[in-house]
Amino acid sequence: MLSIGEKPVEESLTVQQRALLDSAIGYYKSHLIQKSLVRGLGYERYWLQKQVGTKAKKDSTVSQEFVDVLNTVSKTYRETYWPIHKKHNTEILELQISNIRKLEKRIISRMERLSLTPWPSKKKTRVDLTVYANYAGAYTPTRPIFNVIVSTVDPSSLGPAFLETIFHEGSHLLFRYEGPWRESIFKTFEAGRYQMKFPRHLWHVSLFYLCGQVCKEEFSQIDIKEYEMTLLTRNIFKTYQSTELFAALDEYMQNNNTLQATTKQLLEILESKANN
């Protein structure tokens, strides 16, 4: 992770400040950490985003205890860690925003075509930059609203891989549950009687590859050369990766195959790999 100056802040905490922060962390560990950031804390996140001012107000979404913990610790956080967190997030935004603006229309348009799904709203999707996200450095809750959340302390936030992360996470809106890609995989698998477990990450590795290739091609148009997609640099979904699978996705990208034919081909490739 990138060092952003938290150590001096930690060392300067008063006894009272440290106690308040430790108490809030203790509450998080005992009440919230077991919940999924993607599926389990969506309403709490949405409630927080609607808050106005520095004092949280309770509604039916959260418990009074949760509100009390936030209100107790918020002043300490604002006075200690928030200034450096805000500064770093702003610096990353300023570093990347120009290229995001150059690329967003073209990349989103291409991902709409590949996913067979139009962007569901003319409104832009909310993206939150945060110092800490999850183990992957980014995640995208879909309920109650779609929201991209990306960490800014991953070293990739300084380079073009951060741009791919933004567009990949945004494309989850297009490769969503009950969308064409996931439905095609499920229906083709059910009809084909394949002798393997259902490949539940096939849709996601397909998204990684397709978005990675689109980004690579579009990056070259703004002088970002020799880019290698995140799927490969981080070796994500290694058990799915093969030259045959990538070739099938390339054929789909080039409009040489339908989604249904591509899905069937991908499943046959995975079944052959599983049986060898």
- What pLDDT digit, counting tens, does each position of 122-179 carry? 777 899 999 999 888 999 998 888 999 999 999 999 999 999 999 999 999 999 999 9
Domain tally, the chain: 2
- With respect to residue 250, please indicate whether it lies within any of the assigned structural domains: yes
Summarised one tens digit per residue, pLDDT across range 14-48 is 999 999 999 999 999 999 999 999 989 999 999 99
- With respect to residue 1, please indicate whether it lies within any of the assigned structural domains: no
Average of per-residue pLDDT across 105-117 = 97
- Co-location of 40 and 138 in the same domain: no
* Model pLDDT, residue 120: 83
Q: Whole-prediction pTM value? A: 0.94
Contacts of 76 (CB under 8 A, 6+ apart): 17, 20, 21
Summarised one tens digit per residue, pLDDT across range 190-219 is 999 899 999 999 999 999 999 999 999 999
- Co-location of 21 and 100 in the same domain: no
The token pair at 10 is 């930690």
- With respect to residue 106, please indicate whether it lies within any of the assigned structural domains: yes
Summarised one tens digit per residue, pLDDT across range 63-87 is 999 999 999 999 999 999 999 999 9
Average of per-residue pLDDT across 45-65 = 92
* Model pLDDT, residue 216: 98
Band of pLDDT at residue 268, cut at 50, 70 and 90: very high
- Co-location of 275 and 142 in the same domain: yes
Average of per-residue pLDDT across 236-245 = 97
The token pair at 276 is 């060898």
Query: In the Cβ-directed half-sphere of 223, how many Cα atoms lie within 13 Å?
Result: 0
- Co-location of 97 and 63 in the same domain: no
- Co-location of 129 and 232 in the same domain: yes
- Co-location of 181 and 274 in the same domain: yes
Average of per-residue pLDDT across 242-252 = 98
Residue 76, phi-psi category: left (phi > 0), alpha (psi -120 to 50), beta (remainder): alpha
- Co-location of 68 and 109 in the same domain: no
* Model pLDDT, residue 211: 98
d(CA 55, CA 51): 8
Provide φ and ψ at 106, rounded to 5°: -70, -45
Q: Over the Cα atoms of the chain, what is R_g?
A: 21
* Model pLDDT, residue 143: 86
Average of per-residue pLDDT across 42-69 = 93
Average of per-residue pLDDT across 104-129 = 92
- Co-location of 56 and 151 in the same domain: no
Range of the domain at 28: 6-80
Average of per-residue pLDDT across 51-65 = 92
* Model pLDDT, residue 34: 94
DSSP string, 113-176: HHHT---S-SSPPEEEEES---TTSEE---SSS-EEEEES-SGGGGSHHHHHHHHHHHHTTTS-
